[in-house]
């Protein structure tokens, strides 16, 4: 089964950038949809971005133009480049692998935007 490990979170000032990584075990990784979600304290989990095995992407309106999702199938890794970060982007960011008959979550990485 695929296992996911996120990394790249941290503390950044408003307007700054971070790049999150979602690394997976298992060669099937290249055939599944990968999604980035985020969850802030007291709020519902929010879908941030998705990327298909073909590289098609979708973004939440709140991050369009600021975040970019990409994948490197050779490295079994999906990235979330986050630019122009805002205070409201503070959350735990989690990646999820979505296949036809199963899905797997990573453990999450904390992103804190603060001055």
The pLDDT of residue 28: 62
The pLDDT of residue 40: 96
Over the chain (115 residues), the average pLDDT of each successive run of 10 is 91 98 78 93 96 94 98 90 98 94 94 97
The pLDDT of residue 27: 63
Which class for 41: exposed (0-12), middle (13-18), buried (19 or more C-beta within 10 A)? exposed
The pLDDT of residue 21: 97
The pLDDT of residue 81: 98
The pLDDT of residue 32: 85
> Residue 42 — left, alpha, or beta (φ > 0 → left; ψ -120 to 50 → alpha)?
left
């Amino acid at each position: 089964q695929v296992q996911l490990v996120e990394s790249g979170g941290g503390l950044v000032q408003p307007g700054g950038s971070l790049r999150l990584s979602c690394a997976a075990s298992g060669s099937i990784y290249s055939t599944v949809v990968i999604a980035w979600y985020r969850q802030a304290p007291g709020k519902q989990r929010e879908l941030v971005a998705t990327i298909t095995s073909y590289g098609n992407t979708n973004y939440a309106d709140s991050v369009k133009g600021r975040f970019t999702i990409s994948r490197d199938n050779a490295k079994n890794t999906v990235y979330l480049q986050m630019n122009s970060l805002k205070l409201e982007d503070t959350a735990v960011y989690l990646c999820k692998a979505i296949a036809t008959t199963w899905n797997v979550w990573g453990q999450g990485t904390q992103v804190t935007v603060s001055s």
